[in-house]
Structure 1
Amino acid sequence: MKKVIYILLPLILLSSCNDFQKAFKSDDIALKFEKGTELFDAGEWKKANRLFEQIVPNYRGKPQAEKLLYMHAMSFYKTEKYFISGYQFERFASSYPNSEKQEEAAFLSAKSYYYESPIYSKAQEETTKALEKLQIFINSFPNSEYLTEANQLIKELDFKLEKKAFEVAKQYNRIYDYKASIKSFNNFLLDFPGSELHKDAMYYRFLASYNLATNSIDALKEERIQEAVNYYNIFKKNYPNSEYLKTADDLKKDLETTTSVTVANNTKS
């Protein structure tokens, strides 16, 4: 019995391949629609897409157009061509506002843009665009079955923007531009008050201010040390049990020692 199955399987696959090639080369748009639908239902997204691409213009305004455009968009989505699927689903949703697939299409359009969002270290224009699309979806379908997932996607994208801003601020500290680092961390704390990186940002802001103070000329040291101590106090008040506190305490003691030396030097002068 197994031998029969092994022999039949290649024949079935060959027949299916021949059917696809026949439909692909044919001028019969009905045959392409039928075979494309069959391949779509079987999960053969790439082949289905190739057939749909040939006939979409021919079905505009026809009763079958709604089904075809939905399958066309989904075949792009399933083959991970998210830039195109985002556009195609958006087009479907606006073209068929009364379709039973409209809500799903609107969500998958927004989700396609989510997939186009790059890693946090790259430029985040696509992330911002995805956030806008997801928010539009939530506003349009506040009771959607996809609402929980949409909110989770927004949370992930928001964190990506937070991580980007946080790492930029840290990078300024690494390249010794301490003023820019402090300013960036201040902006971060204002822009993302509920961020899970809030504690880290407060600590690294203090670290940047410590570095600025200890590397300043004597004329500026006292004022900058006081600013650093203020940032330390804010950090400690908000996170008294932080894993950073031991290091922060040591840096603060160093600031106090530096202050004494600076005051003494200024007095002599």
Structure 2
Amino acid sequence: MRCDLLSARALRPLGAGVLLVAASVMLAGCGGGLNPFKSKKAEQPVGDSRPPEVIYGEAETLLNEQDWKDAAKKYEDVDVNHPYSTEARRAIVMSAYAYYKNGKYPEAISAGKRYLTLHPGTDEAPLAQNIIAMAYYDQVLDPKRDQTNARESLNAYETLVQRYPTSRYSAEARNRILILRNLLAANSMTIGRYYLRDHDYLAAINRFRDVVTEYQQTEQVEEALMRLTEAYLALGIVNEAETAAAVLGHNFPNSKWYQKSYSLLQKAGRSPHEHAGSWITQTFRGEGNPA
């Protein structure tokens, strides 16, 4: 094709519209093959093609500098650009740690869970489980608030102790399990007392029952048994009231809560007596939690 411009006289018979199209085609051909419609996006480099150990090293440097946000991003770059490398595996759990340190708890939990799904039996697995538990734990509020995070943290710490009992994190996990159990028991007691004051005795009993069955080793169980005595008496379910007081007296004879439950029964002309068919008796004898 000739690249010299045609004269206006030669193109005039074609009409103005065809003239513009023809001129555009000729200009494209005269541009040495340059395509004016080529996407600029395609010209941009995709990802980071540098060796994974180089990117991972940069992430380590950022972590040491406590630049948690950029460190997390850089660790993710390792996994995204070199998913099958040796560095990618540890980069996932380290991104979880960096997210946790940056207060990005949902991201930390997500990364930790992803690591455990992909690499459950590795040396870093206890660390990933611990990060998940800590991320939930740091979101725990006081006993009067919703305790979803406390339950999630408790489950995560219990899993940590069960799966990795000799890990470096297990001792702290056991301490936090005790704290969380007491917190959840206190939460149930707070709600149970509210129902009791509102004379919603069945709802109150369900909350106190949670404490007795799920958190029997906490300090809240003594009051829970006394409140069960109170609530069952209010409903006229005397056998359960007597049993609650009897179990309380047997296990905590010097408790102030036993004295209160004993006084409640005396006013009703009753006394503590353990009934074999009671769910309370079965629970404390280790016979399960009857429905």
Shorter-chain TM-score bucket reads: 0.5 to 0.7
Cα separation, 2, equivalents of 1:227 and 1:33: 63
Partners of 1:131 and 1:157 within 8 A in 2: yes
Once residues 188 and 234 of structure 1 are traced to their aligned partners in structure 2, the CA distance between those partners, rounded to angstroms, is 14
When residues 69 and 181 of structure 1 are mapped into structure 2, their CA distance, relative to the original with a 3 A threshold, is closer
In structure 2, what is the equivalent of residue 78 of structure 1?
101
Structure 1 residues 201-216: aligned runs within 5 Å? 201-210=224-233, 212=234
Query: Is residue 192–residue 203 contact of structure 2 (8 Å, CA) maintained in 1?
Result: yes
Please state if 1:240 is matched with 2:253: yes
Which of the residues 58, 62, 87 maps onto 1:39?
62
Cross-structure match for 2:200: 177
Q: CA deviation at 1:162?
A: 2.1
1:78 Cα deviation from its structure 2 partner: 1.0
Q: Residue 59 in 1 paired to residue 82 in 2?
A: yes
Q: 2:220 aligns with which of 176, 180, 197?
A: 197
Relative to structure 1, is the Cα distance of residues 198 and 41 closer, same or farther in structure 2, using a 3 angstrom cutoff?
Answer: same
Q: Secondary structure at the match of 1:105?
A: helix
Is 1:138 the equivalent of 2:151? no
After superposition, give the CA deviation of every residue in 1:196-239 in whole Å (9 maximum; x if it has no partner): 212111222233345x27xxxxxxxxx66787566555544544
Question: Structure 1 regions of 5+ residues with no counterpart?
Answer: 1-26, 214-222, 257-269
CA–CA distance in structure 1, aligned partners of residues 264 and 165 of structure 2: 50
* Structure 2 gap ranges (5+): 1-46, 270-291
Identical amino acids, percent of aligned pairs: 21
Q: 1:158 aligns with which of 173, 176, 181?
A: 181
> Residue 29 of structure 1 contacts residue 55 of structure 1 at CA under 8 Å; is this kept in 2?
no
Q: CA deviation at 1:98?
A: 7.0
Distance 1:162 1:236 in 2: 20
Residue 176 of structure 1 aligns with an amino acid whose one-letter code is: H
CA distance in 2: counterparts of 1:242 and 1:98, whole angstroms: 47
Structure-1 residue corresponding to 2:113: 90
Matched residue type, 1:38: T
Structure 1 pair 173–37 and aligned structure 2 pair: CA distance change class (3 A): same
State how far apart, in whole Å, the 2-side matches of 1:140 and 1:133 are.
10
Counterparts of 1:242-261 in structure 2 under 5 Å? 242-244=255-257, 247-248=260-261, 251-252=264-265, 254-256=267-269
1:39/1:45 contact within 8 Å kept: yes
- CA shift for structure 1 position 179: 4.1
| Cα-Cα RMSD | 3.7
1:42 to partner: Cα distance: 1.9
* Aligned residue-pair number: 221
Q: Is the 8 Å Cα contact of residues 86 and 112 (structure 1) preserved in structure 2?
A: yes
> C-alpha offsets along residues 17-61 of structure 1, whole Å, 9 cap, x if unaligned?
xxxxxxxxxx86758765443221222223433555566522323
**2:22 aligns to what?**
none
Return the alpha-carbon distance in structure 2 between the equivalents of residues 62 and 226 of structure 1. 66
Task: State the secondary structure of the residue aligned to 2:99.
Answer: helix
In structure 2, do the counterparts of structure 1 residues 174 and 59 end up closer, same or farther at CA, with 3 Å as the change threshold?
same
Instruction: Compare the two structures and name the one with the higher helix fraction.
Output: 1
Per-residue CA distance 1:87-112 (angstroms, 9 max, x = gap):
21232344446754343233323333
- Given the two structures, how large is their TM-score scaled by the length of structure 2? 0.59
Aligned residue type for 1:241: N
Residues 233 and 113 of structure 1: CA distance in aligned 2, closer, same or farther (over 3 Å) = closer
Check 1:39–1:166 CA distance in 2 against 1; reply closer, same or farther (3 A cut): same
Say whether the 8 Å CA contact 2:76–2:92 is kept in structure 1: no
1:127-164 per-position Cα deviation (integer Å, ceiling 9, x unaligned) = 33333333333333232222212222322333333223
Match of 1:48 among 71, 79, 83: 71
TM-score scaled to structure 1, two decimals? Answer: 0.63
The residue number in structure 1 matching 2:11 is none
Alpha-carbon contact 2:96-2:131 (below 8 Å) kept: no
Counterpart of 1:208, as a letter, is A
